[in-house]
Amino acid sequence: MTRAAADNAAASAATRPGHVTLVGAGPGAADLLTVRAIRALRQATVVLVDDLVDAAVLRYVRPSARIVHCGKRGGAVSTQQGFIEAMLVTEALHGERVVRLKGGDPYVFGRGGEEAAALRAAGVAHTVVPGITAGIAAPAEAGIPVTDRRWAQGVLLVTGHAQPGHAGPDWAQLAQTARGGITLVIYMGITHSADITAALMAAGLPGSTPAAVVQSGCTPQQRAHVGTLRALAGDIRRLGMGSPAILVIGDVVRAAALMQDGGSSIGLPTPRAATA
């Protein structure tokens, strides 16, 4: 490229309005992407990718685009959130069409809200492409319908990993919620599963409550185990299950078609009265 061409390209980038799209890649398999997500990837000139995104998703990115891997995994060295937000702003201000590609949904424990706030503060135009969240998809893959009306009147998505300097979830209150027929779906809870299950039982949720763990949901590496709240943490240790994983607690777990990895046999109770 000649000096004049380079100068023209730089000037064009400086005047071209940049844009950031926060894209949910879904919980695992590349074919769970939405059409809108694929369209955004094909238009991107810069893509910031999370660790949990299936590498096959990147086949939708144009060859000329720059791909930046921004690992964010619990218990591992992670890219600082502030650095990611600054990069999103900088690239957009240079005229790039940026995609921030996240596993699951950007606004469900994906820090998409923080990134959108940083973009608004910098005056950067941005949009959001929702994705299928693991808390719904992973149980479904394991045969667990989280809002089966025979056993549950709703579902509550909660994190098992408190932000540094903040109090964790009120497990006593959540135990009462679960006793009222609400399914608990816990993200990032496998490391603290013993503390979580103990707190729920101490608050009155029966140890016999059906419970499941789904590791690496919606991928070829998926593993699922069904048991009880009382046994869950011990089963996780015994089976060597680890992150990423989703915990599901509530009577809907009884609907799982298969008891995997030697899970407890749970008989079906009389369903709750179905409502329209």
**Residue positions annotated with a catalytic role:** 50, 72, 188
DSSP 72: -
- Contact (Cβ atoms closer than 8 angstroms) between residue 14 and residue 94: yes
Euclidean distance between CA atoms 187 and 158, whole angstroms: 6
Residues 6+ apart with CB under 8 A from 245: 189, 190, 213, 214, 215, 216, 217
Q: Identify the residue whose tokens are 């899970």.
A: 263
Euclidean distance between CA atoms 68 and 203, whole angstroms: 45
- Helix H segments across the chain? 3-15, 35-43, 81-93, 112-121, 134-141, 171-179, 193-202, 229-239
